[in-house]
Amino acid sequence: MTLLAEIQRVEHALASPAGDPGWRHRVLVRMGALNRAFGEHVVVTEGPDGLYAELVDHAPRLTRGVHVLIREHAGVLASIAELRARAGHPETTIEQVRDWGEDLLRELSRHRQRGADLVCQAYPTDIGAET
């Protein structure tokens, strides 16, 4: 699955009815899948032939922005691990899991947007402009 698909699945799991006895288990399963998908994202973007190397090669001025994204990877992975650990404790309320999950989803959204912004800066296009 793609990272976006796993993000959407986590969002759906968090929003599902809390009265369902399988709620916590489903959230944990989706978080595990998200962790794997984000790990793949890190490999694809940070690898020597990855997207970030391509961006820096094409537009060296974006090096700082790429380094910001790389640092964010560690933070996102830590947030995923922390949420998984907290959600696994029975004393953690569903409301707490949802709040932390929403924080994680916002963190992922901001990261994805910053990455998209860098790609647009590296490969600007002028759609519909006259020559």
- Taking only the tens place, the pLDDT of each residue in 27-45 is 999 999 999 999 999 999 9
Cβ pair 13, 27 in contact under 8 A: yes
Q: Is the dihedral of CA 113, 114, 116, 121 positive or negative?
A: positive
Residue 1 three-state SS: coil
Residue 93 φ/ψ, nearest 5 degrees: -75, 155
User: What does the H/E/C string look like for 24-65?
Assistant: HHHHHHHHHHHHHHHHHHHHHHHCCCCHHHHHHHHCHHHHHH
* Ranges of each domain in the chain: 3-122
Question: With 0-12 CB in 10 A as exposed, 13-18 as middle and 19+ as buried, what is 54?
Answer: middle
**Residue percentage of the chain with pLDDT more than 70:** 95
What CATH code is assigned to 3-122?
1.20.120
The mean of the pLDDT values for the chain is 94
Whether the pLDDT of residue 91 is over 80: the answer is yes
Tell me: pLDDT of 130 over 70.
no
pTM of the predicted protein model: 0.89
For Cα atoms 6, 86, 91, give the angle at the middle one, nearest 5 degrees: 130
Mean pLDDT across 10-37: 96
